[in-house]
Amino acid sequence: MSERVVNVTAPGLLAGAALPHLAASDGAVVNVSSTFGHRPAPGAGYYGASKAALESLTRSWALELATEGVRVNAVAPGPTESEALTASGLPGEAVAEITAREAERVPLGRRGEPGDVAAWIVRLAGPEAGWLTGQVLTVDGGLELA
């Protein structure tokens, strides 16, 4: 199954399986999108479209599941340190060039760390975000402003 199908189908299957438990506990769904879900980039069309679809699902599910007491939000990370580029088969020099170029574009001057994104996922899932649903929070070091 391609990543573009997985980016839309997997969250739906997961949310569907978890819904009885989420409804019983006034739980929350936090989807993981990407800045590509609302910011186009050459070569990322299908990936971006899959993340845009996930953002639309986030807003629709927020409306549909509100009566169940379930909140639905998403985070949209910008460039974040991970093994994704290396795992894609790119040579080390290409990975270094891409990561340096991305860091230069981010106003805060660096790529995100996994903890930068995870902290917001935890906040959106927690009770202090109990009045928040249907939102997509961009966590990108200001990239969207550049």
SS (H, E, C) the chain: CCHHHHHHHHHHHHHHHHHHHHHHCCCEEEEECCHHHCCCCCCCHHHHHHHHHHHHHHHHHHHHHHHHCCEEEEEEECCECCCHHHHCCCCHHHHHHHHHHHHHHCCCCCCECHHHHHHHHHHHHCHHHCCCCCCEEEECCCHHHC
Is 22 among the domain residues? yes
The answer to whether residue 88 sits within a structural domain is no
Structural domain boundaries enclosing 50: 3-82+112-145
Q: Assess whether pLDDT exceeds 80 at residue 129.
A: yes
Query: What's the structural domain count of the chain?
Result: 1
46 an active-site residue?
A: no
Residue 94 in any domain: the answer is no
Catalytic residue among 47, 82, 85, 135: 47
Query: In the prediction, which pLDDT does 57 show?
Result: 97
Q: What value does the mean pLDDT take over residues 43-55? A: 94
Q: Is the pLDDT of residue 94 over 90?
A: yes
Higher pLDDT, 99 or 1: 99
pLDDT of residue 1: 58
